[in-house]
Structure 1
Amino acid sequence: MIFKNKKWLALAVVALSLICIFTLLFIYKSTPEKLASEETQKKTDLTNPIFMRGNGYLSLNKDEVFSISIPYIFGEQNITNVESVVSDNDQALLEFSDTSGDYVFDENTNVNSFNFDISFKSVGQYVIDKVTIVTSEKTVVVDIGHFIFDITDSSDSDLALFGDTIGIQSSLDNYLLSIKNENKKETLKITSIYAKTDALSLESKEFELAPDGLFSGELSTSISADNPKYSWYVIKPKIEYSVKNAKQFFLSNATYLGLVDISQHQVDIALKNKRGSEFK
């Protein structure tokens, strides 16, 4: 359109400017409303406590008791008056310990740990993905993730741990192994270091340990991108070694991966995959 009259040209410019201003005001006004809506939705999602699903491989001896901690997020309603925790696996024995942590993540979100002991009566490989929590008010089945328990009946070992017996780290990229050959005469040949689940695998190494020899080093971990429902991981590898051509096993220490500082990403994973993991 060609404006021959300057007055009409000026009016057109003013009208166009007003349209732009009102458009910008609308966008500015709607953006906080959208953010507020998302924040309200997040708060609504925490009406019930939500367990942060974990993934892990744990090698244990028959009847060995392992204390496991499962983090969960909650708003105003916490998990209280717990009487027991059980599994539908008849070989597993569970005993509730306590809830701990009470870490304030943000103004709407708190993080706690649900702690219980677990042991197995028989040798074999068992999967625990759900537990039943019994309180004085209700009984709730919750999905806590996917944990493989590899149960053996190993005898006394020539290997021993040195340093911490259980580790907690923020990194998901490695596992620190520190072992010692306590055999004063024989060299040990490490043939396998094993920890594997549907979402995690641990680097294996082969090496020899001289009498009284030490090994301390990081083994890399690989986390599958095909399993985005897990917020954290735990590994307790099984080490296979030979001495005088006789095969033996050693059960290494446990390390929690990704549990030093809970991130927004981990909380978002729990919120996105809350179905089945809510305590309600």
Structure 2
Amino acid sequence: MTEFEQVNISEAEFDEVTSTSTATEDDNESDAFDGHTYSPASLSRLVLSEQATIVAERAIGLAVIREDEFRPDGRDERDREAILTLIATRNLAEHVQALLRAAVVHTQTSGIGWERIATVLGQTRQSVARKHGPAVEEWRTSIVGPDGRPGLPRTHRAEDAAALAHELDAWLREHAARPSGPQDAAISERLGRLGAAEELDLLLAHSRGALPPAELAAVRERQTVLYERFAAAEDDPEQARRYRRYAAHARDQTTELRESLAPRPNTADTDPKTP
């Protein structure tokens, strides 16, 4: 008897569950996420906020006129300061371009198409997509973790998204001149968390790729948790049974994948040797 026969479920039905899911909005809130699982749009907004602080710090530094810039007897010093100001301005412009790229990535991640982005930027759709498309695609692939859940790109300096959000909270408390509201957690408390149904969509999309067994096992393990949550929160007995079947299927797949990854004993060492 196969694992699919044991839980009476087909591969196609399992993969298409989100298209018929009856999870409510309440299922997407409060207990529908673990820890600091932010949505892809929240992650892109977080990186945008970080880049904005970088631009702000460099702009403030550039605005300051140093004490010896215009000494009457310091022509060499004035020339040196002018060159340094030019270099700082060039660097600031590069950071502004990085901020613009982050904004485009965030806008795309939020579901807004190239046509509207091009209108805002005053450019053609083709030119905007050609210029920023690679950054958007790199973002989409780099935020997917081994278990299919979104997180900061692996190349990012921060350990995790929550740590970065609290770091930016502290930056705003120190630098915000005109607070637009409570600044104690102006970043971390305003980011959207990933709801259970949204997370399940991402997991299923991720699992349709050619994943290594270890990654697929992590995805199936997480799917088990989500389906069990749906079952526990479901008022319709039939729908609850359906979610439990999906959970059982995902759990069986996880077990099978974990077993396939376990080291196997060397038969040459375990078989009795013949004289």
Q: Looking at both structures, which has the greater relative contact order when contacts are Cα pairs under 8 Å and sequence separation is at least 6?
A: 2
Greater fraction of residues in helix:
2
